[in-house]
Amino acid sequence: MASDSSSVPARVRALAERLAQPRPMRRGSLSERYVKCSKAGCACSQDPQARHGPYYSLTRKVGGQTRSQWVAAEQAERVREQIAAGQEFRQRVEALWAACEQWAQEEVAASPAGEVEKRGSRRRWRRRSRPKSKR
Ligand SMILES: [Zn+2]
């Protein structure tokens, strides 16, 4: 059973289409920091409550190394949204992977020579009814 593009399962197609809508996004995390300054006599040197901030720092791993950059306070909310978009993207990639693997499994199970998996391999994979999305 050859699979051309017209036989793409609806679920796989839907997931792939959602991935094909790029938007600004990031990996990493944003943290809020309160810092001491170096001014002589400034209260921040004694009193944690008097520290300056918040300052925002974006931290991410690049090639195994942790990198940080400051983010202007007025940009912090936007950066948070970009990070959330990145996490959502990662979840969608995982969902697409899972759907494609099921599809691959189905394809192999459906071919006469491919009955490698014993349990339930003749049956079409069941679509699980998903719980209602909260989004
Ligand atoms: Zn200070």
Which pTM was predicted?
Answer: 0.67
Report CA(71)–ligand 1 centroid distance (Å): 20
- The predicted structure's pLDDT at residue 28: 95
Report CA(92)–ligand 1 centroid distance (Å): 44
Is the pLDDT confidence value at 3 over 50?
A: no
Confidence of residue 59 (pLDDT cuts 50, 70, 90): very high
3-state percent helix, strand, coil for the chain, nearest multiple of 5: 45, 20, 35
Integer Cα distance of 33 and 26 in angstroms: 20
The percentage of the chain sitting over the pLDDT mark of 90, rounded to a whole number, equals 70
Residues with Cβ–ion distance below 5 A, ligand 1: 37, 42, 44
Is the pLDDT confidence value at 76 over 90?
A: yes
Report CA(124)–ligand 1 centroid distance (Å): 67
Q: Which region among 19-23, 55-59, 114-118 has the lowest average model confidence (pLDDT)?
A: 114-118
Report CA(86)–ligand 1 centroid distance (Å): 35
Report CA(132)–ligand 1 centroid distance (Å): 51
